[in-house]
Chain A
Amino acid sequence: MSRETWQEQLRRGTLDLAILLSVSSGPRYGLAIIQHLEAFTDLVVAEGTIYPILGRLTKEGLLESTWVEGEAPHPRKYYALTRLGTKRLAEMTDAWRDYVKKIDRLMTASERTR
């Protein structure tokens, strides 16, 4: 597997978690989620691919969306975590921390034996 393929798989695998984390502190609209992700990560390759993922997470019941008019010259679609989304985010966060800890341990052990 090439480095690019591995990085792409890593990016795709963590994008759901990153999006849920972006709205964990409160509702955000699409562009604000993208800007939040861009500020902390390099997970957004093409902005247009984030919206279908938001749609899927909404369909899966992890997010709920609301159109808000009058706040800006154009309507904005806000996304917020549902109860199921909050629960799933907690599970994903625990799993991610556990995963990182194990890989870190493995890397440390590998470095020691070098």
Chain B
Amino acid sequence: MTLSAVGEARINGYLFVLQRSLKTFLPGDSVRDAVREIESHLRERIAAADGSPNERDAIERILAELGPPLRVAQAYSLERTVDEAVATGRIVPIIRALWHLAVSTAAGFFATLAVVIGTLIGAGTIAVAIAKPFFPQNVGFFMREGDGFPHTFGGQFPVPQDEHLVGGYWIIPFALTAGLLILVLTYRGARRFLTWWRERRLS
């Protein structure tokens, strides 16, 4: 089947959407290679098609067999990003893989939420350690009058009348250790989730 200008436009539109979707998570070379391969597939299918009952239906049938461009892109995303994250253990691929799972699966969404919360708590705890030398009277544990245990850890500007600060500069090593520990555990949790996801996908 030889394509008309309308048919060409439909194929180019499909490839354009695919390219745009792939660009969000794949490097340029990989995007070009993937789009070229999918185009080769389409051209091969079109060349072999007899064009019945008409060009439009024949093209739509070929595109339907290939799958919608977003679904094809998602398949690339899951194959590439999760594998890269698990294999390298680097932060950026892990974030990228979590993001793609978060927007495409419920388990991914809740795992990513847990990772975001863990990262914020870890980073916040380290921020407390960094802020302590600059605001010694506003950063640390806070207790209400009459309470036997602290109810807040962090900074308060100004400190409320009925509360007082507990803890001196020992807060710094404590917060640094706790913050780093939380970040390491969050990172390990993220890796473990992605490994589990990958094994589940392959099983």
Contacts and interface: CB of A to CB of B under 8 A. Distances in A.
Interface of A: 9, 12-13, 16, 29-31, 34, 46-49, 51-53, 55-56, 59, 67, 72-77
8 contacts: A46-B67, A51-B72, A52-B76, A55-B79, A59-B80, A73-B47, A75-B40, A77-B37
Contacts of A46: 65-67, 71-72, 75
Contacts of A52: 72, 75-76, 78-80
Nearest to B69: A48
A73 B68 CA distance: 25
Contacts of B192: none
A51 B65 CA distance: 13
Interface residues of chain B: helix, strand, loop or mixed (majority) = helix
Contact of A31 (B41, B75, B79): B41
B116 to A, nearest CB: 27
Chain A CB count within 10 A is highest, among B38, B66, B78, for B66
Interface residues of B, number: 27
Given A46-B65, A48-B71, A55 B41 contact: no
Nearest to A12: B201
Given A46-B72, A74-B43, A77-B40, 15 more contacts: A12-B202, A13-B203, A46-B65, A46-B75, A47-B66, A49-B67, A51-B41, A51-B75, A52-B76, A52-B79, A56-B79, A56-B80, A67-B36, A72-B44, A72-B47
Given A31-B45, A75-B40, A49 B203 contact: no
B163 interface: no
Nearest to B30: A55
B77 to A, nearest CB: 8
In the A-B complex, list the 5 residue pairs whose CB atoms are closest, starting with the nearest. A48-B72, A46-B67, A48-B67, A52-B79, A74-B43
